[in-house]
Structure 1
Amino acid sequence: MGRQRRRLRIAGFTLVGALVLGAGGAGWTFWRLNDNIRSVDIDAALGDNRPAKTGPTTSADPSDPSASPSALPSALPSGALNILVLGSDSRSGTENAELGGGDDGAGARSDTAMVVHIDEGRAGATVVSIPRDTLVTRPSCPLESGGSSSVAYNAMFNSAYAVGGPVCAVKTVESMTHVRMDHYIEIDFSGFAQLVDALGGVTVTTDEDIDDDDSHLELTAGTHHLDGEKALALARTRHGIGDGSDLGRIGLQQTLVKALLDQISSTDLLTDPTRLYEAADAITGSLTTDTDVDSLTELMKLGQSLKGLSSDTTKTVMMPVVTAPYDGNRVVADEPEASELWESLK
């Protein structure tokens, strides 16, 4: 009897120990993922001189007498959103250097810029790509070192990020679109490649052969399943297709966006904890966000509110542009079509 009691006691201690270790592991994982995320306080930097903000709503109606106050804070937001998404080589490290990024964090560039408009109800979206070679009026931007940059006319769009980082990128987009950016999300080269790998790759179909010495990508026309490195190369390819301009690359990036949506919806990460952690680590470790979504909790809440999105309900377009009259290698907004597009996102 004493031996049996001793065995039960040992089993009990073992179970308690496993639970404590499990809870500790979950806590460490949450802390690590949360600590991965970098953020920039866009609101504090830009102040109130910005386009009007769309009032947020939730899936619970505060006027509904049956909705208890305790239930409202946990309700998922359902209001329309505009998110500036940048793909950049801003994070230092050997992985980014090998994938085409900077190796010391200096001279970072925004290679890809998309305004993602989420419809009211969050079941549909419009992704608007802004060519990085677009000539714009870059507004005066607050600088990290203090002071402000000067207004620049006929500046390349992607110079905003190089001059003043995320804050200037957001201010430039809001200045040219007159649309408030509710959130800012930036992902770097290595993080994007790791995310694609964590999802098991991505399947894309190309209409023409691709052979780009700069991105080191060779693909025949047709359907291909790409790993992270090749998916990143596809997103950066410009010289191996069409006329070699940034406009051809945007078409490939939009194809990749829809392919990623399909891959995410077909991958049940919740049934594979290892893959779920790899995806979460890749995402959080490569992100810079605004301070409203700079925690794992807020990112998960945002992600859950977008679970109704699919490639079928997501429209991809490019900001209407024409060749700049004073520079054949640059483009400018094609008016009034460009303004009409931005107005539709308000």
Structure 2
Amino acid sequence: MSELGPRRSRSGFHPPQGGVEPASARAAVGSASLPPSRRLAGRSIARHGQLPVMTAARSLGKLFSILLVVAVVSVVGIGAAAYLKITNNVQAVDIGNGQDEEAPSFPTLQGGANILIVGSDDRTGQGEEFGEGTDEASGVLNDVNMVVHIAEDHSSATVVSIPRDTIVNTPSCTSDDGVAIDEQYGVPFNSILGEGGLSCIVAAAEQLSGLDIQYAGLVKFRGVIELSNAIGGVKVCVANDIDDPYVGLNLTAGEHTIQGEDALKFLRTRHGVGDGSDLSRIANQQLFLSALLQQVKSSDTLTNPAKLYGLAVAVTNNMVLSNSLNNLDTLMAMAGAISKIPLEQIVFAQLPVASSSYEGKVEPLEPDADTMWASLRNDQPLNVVGPTSTVEATDPSGGTTDGTDTSTDETGGDGTTDGTGATEVATPQPTLVGQEASQTGCANA
């Protein structure tokens, strides 16, 4: 702290050292000719008869007023400091197509929205404990890819996970560094980040889904750690013991509240759940995210400014955001929209895939994948079932083995008539692997 300069008068200037008589001296001379009873009237000491009566109620009222002023000033100061801290921490990129100029105004998100959330294994800035500076950090992959679709009327939200090993064709794009990249054919989805960055992942996801993705965010390891810490941990269920030496996760059967590095390990574990594939890991991530949403909604986190601030700091400190999402009002508007959607109307789904001719890879299963994306574009609900549930088979008569009649007729049923008696049958919705956010489940080793 710098030293304070010489004291100033209230006006900001020192009185001259000579030539002008001090005001106090002039006042003393002027009062000398007054009667003794009036000589004290100009001084700051009041006569006893003029002092107000200080009752207990008046004392409390004055104290309350002081506290109120202090509280208001503190809130304003904290709010300004919070806003500056959040906006100064953000690393943002342009995802192109002029979408970065569109930002909703707080507190209302107008219309629908499509957001791409990417989880990266990039070790840059993550510390030695995550292999920063080692050979393990040489490759940068987008191992988690989720398209979040908020319906136009905000009545529902859908989160679609794209398996990292999905083989796709990518369009030409401009990387985060401004480098033009040609279209490519038959590349694993998780290889896009290393060359093109977040903006090229958005371009590939748009081509795959047919959705206009306006917002995007990329989170690294520490982002998951700090986010789980900010909400005080997430309660998850484990059906049987999980032992994954690859990520160092050891959990006994039962319920656990996990946060910090344990939360990261739970989301990253692949060898510790299911058949050890990325598809099993996606199911595990959906369990975690459902539990997280249940906890966030039950504690009113999305409507509590203090809690939202903690989440915002965790997000902005540890994420790369598109310019369109690099706005406190936008983040608050997103939170406000999601807070109003019932848990049973938030659905997690996995892109339907089939084995690919590329060894160890998968490709979108058609026509199921196209039908799913079309449903999202039209704000239609998805049919999801847990990975361990049995899907009812359809019999040739148009019904299902569970006795439900799905046959059509000329009067409507599952289709409509064109006036000639012909029936236009609606495209049947595929049953997708996933779950509603309101459902609970346990991870299976």
Sort the TM-score into its range (normalised by shorter chain).
0.7 to 0.9
Give the alignment's Cα RMSD to 1 decimal: 3.4
Report matched runs for 1:1-346 at 5 Å.
2=45, 23-44=76-97, 76-90=108-122, 92-95=124-127, 97-98=128-129, 100=130, 102=132, 107-269=139-301, 276-327=308-359, 329-346=360-377
Indicate the larger mover: 139-148 or 171-180: 139-148
**How much does 1:13 deviate?**
9.8
Distance 1:43 1:273, change over 3 A: closer
Residue type at the aligned position of 1:213: P
Distance of 1:332 and 1:113 partners within structure 2: 15
SS of corresponding position for 1:42 = coil
Distance of 1:22 and 1:40 partners within structure 2: 31
**How much does 1:287 deviate?**
2.5
Q: Per-residue CA shift, 1:66-100, capped at 9, x if unaligned?
A: xxxxxxx66612422221111124473245x53x4
Q: Give the structure, 1 or 2, with the largest relative contact order (CA under 8 Å, sep 6 or more).
A: 1
Aligned to 2:388: none
Residue type at the aligned position of 1:34: T
Residue type at the aligned position of 1:318: Q
Q: Which has the higher helix share?
A: 1
Distance 1:195 1:25, change over 3 A: same
**How much does 1:345 deviate?**
1.1
Distance 1:123 1:315, change over 3 A: same
**How much does 1:21 deviate?**
5.9
Residue type at the aligned position of 1:243: D
Q: Per-residue CA shift, 1:17-57, capped at 9, x if unaligned?
A: 8865653343122100122222222135899xxxxxxx99x
Distance 1:178 1:30, change over 3 A: same
SS of corresponding position for 1:175 = helix
8 A contact 2:273–2:284 mirrored in 1:
no
Residue type at the aligned position of 1:88: S
Distance of 1:88 and 1:196 partners within structure 2: 17
**How much does 1:249 deviate?**
0.3
8 A contact 1:117–1:126 mirrored in 2:
yes
Distance of 1:330 and 1:225 partners within structure 2: 34
**How much does 1:277 deviate?**
4.0
**How much does 1:106 deviate?**
6.4
Residue type at the aligned position of 1:201: G
Distance 1:255 1:144, change over 3 A: closer
**Which 5+ residue runs of structure 1 have no aligned equivalent?**
48-54, 59-72
Larger radius of gyration: 2
Q: Per-residue CA shift, 1:261-298, capped at 9, x if unaligned?
A: 01111224489876554333112212222222211122
Distance of 2:231 and 2:66 partners within structure 1: 38
Distance of 2:235 and 2:282 partners within structure 1: 17
Distance 1:93 1:122, change over 3 A: same
SS of corresponding position for 1:211 = strand
Report the identity percentage: 37
What is the aligned length?
319
* Structure-2-length-normalised TM-score: 0.63
